Amino acid sequence: MPEYTLVDEPDSIAADLGRHDFVGVDTEFMREKTFFAELCLVQVATREIIYCVDPLNGHGMSVFWDALMQDTWVVHSGRQDVEVVYQSARRMPGRLFDTQIAAGVLGFAPLMGYASLVKELFDVDIDKSHTRANWSRRPLPDTYLHYAAEDVEYLLPALDLLTEKLDQKGRLSWAEEDSAQLLNPALYDLDPELAIDRRQRARILRGRRRAHPLHPMKIKRPCSSRSSSR
């Protein structure tokens, strides 16, 4: 089980984040009933410590986000993580390295899962049983936090190993190029109205239209205003 620190005041770790060039990042969020996902936990791994940052307790996050965006994020299949953070904080990291993309470029199975990659690289079995847990519940059980910490524990070691292998094959720039494409804000600037329209049309096509007007999909903006940062 990885050691981690639960952070209730995100801005308090900004100074430490500023000391690192690379950090492993993962998020936990809920999207079942809302159009915009609700960010519920941000895990950040440095080479020394794993932080589990709670964004739901009302403390400021502006300084935390500023510091985190200065580092290169190491993620696994990070598109949704970037999306959720972008929609919550309206910010995006300056640089990104996606270990799933890197593994694919190296010749591993396309779209390889994190657990499979960790097993392949380090011969370690990790738990994926909490993938569909209710991450908005508080307090978060220790088992959830352990799981969350494990999701970032191997990202920096994977970066080191994958980078070395990519370099040997002359494909580091390939992984960097594909990873950078995840930093296009246009990927994440979603229009809720279009989503409602798509949902309505999909229902009609499925022949499940009700006699009463269709209820638009519940649109819940994340805790922070999309026009201002926390």
Partner 1 sequence: MGLAAETVASKRDLSAVIIDGQRDSKVLSGWRRELVGNRLLELL
Q: Which residues are catalytic?
A: 26, 28, 81, 147, 151
Q: Does 107 bind partner 1 (CB under 8 A)?
A: yes
If one asks whether residue 131 binds partner 1 (CB under 8 A), the answer comes out as no
Please give the Cα distance from 198 to 204 (Å, whole number): 10
1 binds partner 1 (CB under 8 A): no
Nearer to partner 1, 35 or 174 (CB): 174
For residue 71, the minimal CB distance to partner 1 (Å) is 24
Which C-beta is closer to partner 1: that of 88 or that of 100? 100
- SS3 for the chain is CCCCEEECCHHHHHHHHCCCCEEEEEEEEECCCCCCCEEEEEEEECCCCEEEECCCCCCCCHHHHHHHHHCEEEECCCHHHHHHHHHHHCCCCCEEEEHHHHHHHHCCCCCCCHHHHHHHHHCCCCCCCCCCCCCCCCCCCHHHHHHHHHHHHCHHHHHHHHHHHHHHHCCHHHHHHHHHHHHCHHHCCCCHHHHHHHHHHHHHHCCCCCCCCCCCCCCCCCCCCCCCCC
Q: Is residue 174 within the footprint of partner 1 (CB under 8 A)? A: yes
Region of 26-34, 35-43, 141-149, 173-181 interacting with partner 1 (CB under 8 A): 173-181
Residue keyed to tokens 């246009």: 186
Residue closest to 182 by CA, chosen among 76, 107, 109: 76
Contact between 105 and partner 1 per CB under 8 A:
yes
Q: Is 141 in the site for partner 1 (CB under 8 A)?
A: no
Q: Is residue 113 at the binding interface for partner 1, with CB under 8 A as the rule?
A: no
168 lies in the binding site for partner 1 (CB under 8 A): no
How far apart CA 17 and CA 63 sit, in angstroms, is 10
Preceding omega of 192 cis (within 30 degrees of 0):
no
23 binds partner 1 (CB under 8 A): no
CB of 178 to partner 1, least distance (A): 8
Shortest Å, Cβ 171 to partner 1: 8
Q: Which is nearer to partner 1, 53 or 158 (CB)?
A: 158
Member of 127, 177, 193, 197 binding partner 1 (CB under 8 A): 177
Of the candidate spans 21-29, 37-45, 168-176, 219-227, the one that interacts with partner 1 by CB under 8 A turns out to be: 168-176
126/180 with CB nearer partner 1: 180
Q: Which residues bind partner 1 (CB under 8 A)?
A: 104-107, 109-110, 171, 173-174, 177-178
